[in-house]
Structure 1
């Protein structure tokens, strides 16, 4: 069969991917979704309330951007330490500790009255998110070896869906209670519930069920690989970082952008919530669409192109079709988020090596992503508008499209050799 040069298009044929999910699989996926819902409200709940928070704490635009970027930095740095935590306490306790950190940090926001206190809670919660995001992909690679796109898609969709809930519910809780503190602190409850569900699942099924344990027993020990020396690992990390840079910037400043254009707090928050609905749908559907194809690049380019269209729309015609622009951008962001992680997992059959690679990719990626909202906030302070920030995002998306073509499936077999 003829193929376009440089593009591999064979479908993946795995008999196991067509088998029905068991009730145990459904239980695992349900708990994974419950966990994922808690990984973004600490970011998105702040954004619609940013003007109120700034007035109460005296934070500048640049300082307020740290409420979004600091947790993302913590996600990146924390991902690098996930391996040490796994060896110290194991994956089960590691994920539980991550959820506990989120619950404690959100609870503390009920009494936080200064910018410093809020930033401290953002740091603690970000570390908790880092641990969960670094450990769960390896667990999913092991538990759902033949269904990684499905598991990662559901996990990513729940992350995006949780972000939408944070953006939409927090303003209403803040208004109903008369306190922005309550709008931020409410997210301690689902984090605590998810922790209970996770521990109950592990008590019932131990760390993994018999099928996953048999897969581990059949897997040969993989030699130690210095992932930080591999160019492919850095390329995947940069790609993931630029994807999330678009997300963190929009989460931090999309409501402020439309409030500057005359929108209310509730309406601007609803736009962010709508964006995350499209993110969640695409985070699930794009990996599933790409699941039968070994070459993920055409699907990644499609997602990136949607991002670019949405950003250009926000820049050129912000008041004409705001819901369309945030929806298109959100669909691109959600799909490429999950599919970039699937692409990283594709590089190694051994779940331990795959988990280490994904942790490294997230470590690099979230540190890169943390820079974007800070730069955008600084540009807003200097220019008085967000035009320069949207131009910056468009340029980054164009660079990502070019980088995507380096991820040929033929290179997976050479990794982690000289690459």
Structure 2
């Protein structure tokens, strides 16, 4: 099967598709653990660095804001130095930022988190383009592997944050999550070296002078601002991101406030991440077989809204089950959002452009979620208002899903 550029999925000049999948899995392992390792350690960060609820919310929001601001220029970076090299650069930034951030005061913590967020922005925006280029015949399955890797380390980071801090200190507990980023950087640096299978400098007659769009026809370099399809995908991703980052930042502290221990709340956050992992393993592969995916897009948004209503109205009613359902719903919605970047793009170049717009807007908006939630908690003493607002966002996502029918594409003259 081939995409619109006429390239054969999984073979040809891109090299063995399995190598691409392994590279995607390796780099994905570093994209959420730097974030999920922070909330369970809120008490330690507050006690040692004097970070209150608002500052802790900002600490979670900073990488998300970076992801929003830097996702659009990520496609330009890929056009300049090559897709694989750009992903490698992003992975190096994640590794360095995650490694250095705990070893100083609040300023270094913020600076390192910002650098890690910048790297996550680049990698997150460009991986769907790499999937579109190298494995266009199985976007759902590869996205599932990507999500599974990302959520596995996210789950582990949340679950072991407090035990690691107890044994080795909170600084080591945060720094250890640089290791997956180092692995991802090594793998993508190897892929981008001259002569590597699928690298931009791979010898052969199919090589192009432009390393970022070697197999694609000339295409616009700007973001698809005027495409209605692009804005629908962007709206869907925005709803996903607002929900995910708000819940990731405040589910654990909300239950600590209700008398739970830090360790138990960290495990609850791990259940949230574990639910996302379960969804990532199943849902994206299933949608590869479905042409009209609107019902699939809407179902997790409805489940998310229902879970949030229970979280607001009856927070002590089976919290492990409710938070698990929220994890499944958020994981399914986000993984389906990633498949949209492949499904609704005409080619790899258009996927990068669509990702730049989608991630740029969604992360910029979502960055406000943890901060606003912390602010409203400070004013009202409850998280119910913030979680209720996220439920309304989830309902809005259902309406967006109903418009994302088959045939909508960005690029190649489509809208």
User: Quick check: TM above 0.5?
Assistant: yes
Q: Deviations over 1:234-275 (max 9, x none)?
A: 232122011111110111111101101111111101111111
State whether residues 156 and 284 of structure 1, in contact with CA within 8 Å, keep that contact through their aligned partners in structure 2.
yes
Q: Quick one: structure 1 residues 226 and 333, their matched pair in 2 at CA, closer, same or farther if it must change by over 3 Å?
A: closer
**Distance in 1 between the 2:48 and 2:223 partners?**
47
Cross-structure match for 1:322:
319
State whether residues 240 and 365 of structure 1, in contact with CA within 8 Å, keep that contact through their aligned partners in structure 2.
yes
State whether residues 216 and 349 of structure 2, in contact with CA within 8 Å, keep that contact through their aligned partners in structure 1.
no
**Distance in 2 between the 1:220 and 1:337 partners?**
29
Cross-structure match for 2:271:
274
**Distance in 2 between the 1:231 and 1:89 partners?**
30
Cross-structure match for 1:84:
76
Indicate the SS of the match to 2:219.
Answer: coil
Q: Quick one: structure 1 residues 182 and 349, their matched pair in 2 at CA, closer, same or farther if it must change by over 3 Å?
A: same
Pairing partner for 1:63 from 51, 55, 76: 55
Q: How many residues align?
A: 399
**Distance in 1 between the 2:223 and 2:66 partners?**
22
**Distance in 1 between the 2:323 and 2:203 partners?**
44
> For 1:303-322, what aligned pairs fall within 5 Å after superposition?
303-322=300-319
Q: Is 1:188 aligned with 2:182?
A: no
Pairing partner for 2:244 from 247, 270, 293: 247
Cross-structure match for 1:331:
328
What is the CA-CA distance between 1:415 and the residue it aligns to? Answer: 6.3
What is the CA-CA distance between 1:73 and the residue it aligns to? Answer: 0.5
What is the CA-CA distance between 1:406 and the residue it aligns to? Answer: 1.4
State whether residues 131 and 342 of structure 2, in contact with CA within 8 Å, keep that contact through their aligned partners in structure 1.
no
**Distance in 2 between the 1:326 and 1:218 partners?**
44
Q: Quick one: structure 1 residues 324 and 18, their matched pair in 2 at CA, closer, same or farther if it must change by over 3 Å?
A: farther
Cross-structure match for 1:105:
97
> For 1:2-17, what aligned pairs fall within 5 Å after superposition?
none
Q: Is 1:143 aligned with 2:134?
A: yes
State whether residues 30 and 177 of structure 2, in contact with CA within 8 Å, keep that contact through their aligned partners in structure 1.
yes
Cross-structure match for 1:159:
150
Q: Is 1:228 aligned with 2:218?
A: no
Cross-structure match for 2:20:
28
Q: Quick one: structure 1 residues 91 and 418, their matched pair in 2 at CA, closer, same or farther if it must change by over 3 Å?
A: closer
What is the CA-CA distance between 1:405 and the residue it aligns to? Answer: 1.1
Indicate the SS of the match to 1:227.
Answer: coil
Indicate the SS of the match to 1:409.
Answer: coil
RMSD across aligned positions (CA):
2.6
Cross-structure match for 2:108:
117
State whether residues 155 and 273 of structure 2, in contact with CA within 8 Å, keep that contact through their aligned partners in structure 1.
yes
Pairing partner for 1:256 from 234, 253, 258: 253
Indicate the SS of the match to 2:379.
Answer: helix
TM-score (norm 1): 0.88
**Distance in 1 between the 2:177 and 2:10 partners?**
37
**Distance in 2 between the 1:409 and 1:62 partners?**
42
Q: Quick one: structure 1 residues 17 and 31, their matched pair in 2 at CA, closer, same or farther if it must change by over 3 Å?
A: closer
The answer to which of 379-388 and 168-177 deviates more is 168-177
Structure 1 unaligned regions, length at least 5: 1-15
Q: Deviations over 1:194-240 (max 9, x none)?
A: 211222344442417899x6998775433556512223322321220
State whether residues 238 and 368 of structure 1, in contact with CA within 8 Å, keep that contact through their aligned partners in structure 2.
no
Q: Is 1:40 aligned with 2:32?
A: yes
Indicate the SS of the match to 1:289.
Answer: helix
> For 1:166-181, what aligned pairs fall within 5 Å after superposition?
166-177=157-168, 179-181=169-171
**Distance in 2 between the 1:218 and 1:249 partners?**
39
Pairing partner for 2:361 from 361, 364, 374: 364
Cross-structure match for 1:6:
none
State whether residues 296 and 343 of structure 1, in contact with CA within 8 Å, keep that contact through their aligned partners in structure 2.
no
TM-score (norm 2): 0.89
State whether residues 303 and 325 of structure 2, in contact with CA within 8 Å, keep that contact through their aligned partners in structure 1.
yes
Q: Quick one: structure 1 residues 349 and 63, their matched pair in 2 at CA, closer, same or farther if it must change by over 3 Å?
A: same
State whether residues 9 and 136 of structure 2, in contact with CA within 8 Å, keep that contact through their aligned partners in structure 1.
no
Indicate the SS of the match to 1:320.
Answer: coil
**Distance in 2 between the 1:373 and 1:220 partners?**
41
Query: Which of the two has greater helix per residue?
Result: 1
